[in-house]
Every structure is written in structure tokens, then in C-alpha cells.
Amino acid sequence: MEGEVLRDDQWERIRPFVPGGRKGKRGPRSDGRRFFDGLLWLARSGGRWRDLPERFGPYQTAKRRYYRWIAAGVFDRLFEAVADDPDLEWVAIDATVIRAQAQAAGARRKRGDLKPSLSAARAGALAPNSMLS
């Protein structure tokens, strides 16, 4: 599970912006860390809500909370708070990430995209003239 969850120092930085974590009428509420770790898992894996592992809770609950947080502007406040000091150590852009079209590398084009041939009239006009004739 290493690498799928926030480190403690990262969590402490965003905790003030995450709703929940206070004692409610029915007992202590979730602090949001498990949910946030689930969101990170989804973002990194590219999975769907239904693919969310059980250790992050029911996917229906996570999905519902995600849309509630969007409506409440939680993510906007969170992104503004962490934008001043981004941790970009894991971001790397090189040729393995950026792909060019195959034709840019000299590959042959698709069958219908071959170079157009010269028309017969234009080919006759461009034929070399011989001075010996």
C-alpha cells in the first residue's frame, strides 16, 4: 500500500481544508483521509468508481462524497492552498511521455494518404526537353 496514500506530513498540510473529523451527534465522523487516499488511488490508477478497493470504503459512498465536495468547493480551496508550494519531484516530462505522430518520425502514411501523383498533363509539362531531337 506504500505509495498509494498520503504521507503524514502531506495529510497534516491539507487536513484544515478537508471537511469532517469532528464529533457529530451520532459519534465521531470520518476525518476524510481514507476517502482522500481513495481519490488518489483512482487518479493514479485511472480506475472507475466500481474498481475502488474495499479498503477505501464503499465506492457509492466515495462517489457521493466526491460530488458533494465539488459542490461545496472543497477541492477549489484545497488546490489554492497547496498551489503556492507544489511538490513536483515526481513530475518528469521526457520523450517517453510525449509521443509524436508516426509520420513525424518518418513512418509511412496510411494507404489512402500516399503522396499524390502528378497528373498526366502536369507530368508532360515537367518532362525534360532534349536538345537532340
Give pLDDT tens digits for 41-90: 998 888 899 999 999 889 998 999 999 999 999 888 888 887 776 666 55
78 assigned to some structural domain? yes
Residue 103 has pLDDT above 70, yes or no: no
- How many percent of the chain have pLDDT more than 70? 52
| E strand spans, 12-98 | 23-24, 27-28
Nearest-angstrom CA–CA distance, 67 and 70: 5
Angle CA 34–70–92, to nearest 5: 70
Q: In this structure, is residue 87 part of a structural domain?
A: no
CA distance 42 to 49: 8
Q: Please give the backbone phi and psi of residue 23, each rounded to the nearest 5 degrees, phi first.
A: -75, 125
pTM of the model: 0.57
Comparing C-alpha atoms, which of 57, 21, 28 is closest to residue 42? 57
110 vs 37 pLDDT, higher one: 37
Residue 76 lies in a domain: yes
Please count the structural domains in the chain.
1
Burial environment of residue 32 by CB neighbours within 10 A (0 to 12, 13 to 18, 19 or more)? buried
Q: Would you say residue 121 lies in a domain?
A: no
* 22 belongs to a structural domain: yes
Confidence of residue 16 (pLDDT cuts 50, 70, 90): confident
Domain assignment present for 117: no
Looking at the domain assignment, is residue 93 inside a domain?
A: no
Tell me the Ramachandran region of residue 123: left when phi exceeds 0, alpha when psi lies from -120 to 50, beta otherwise: alpha
For residue 32, what pLDDT is reported? 83
What are 108's three cell numbers? Answer: 509511412
At 112, is the pLDDT very low, low, confident or very high (cuts 50, 70, 90)?
low
- Parent domain of 78: 8-82
Domain assignment present for residue 42? The answer is yes
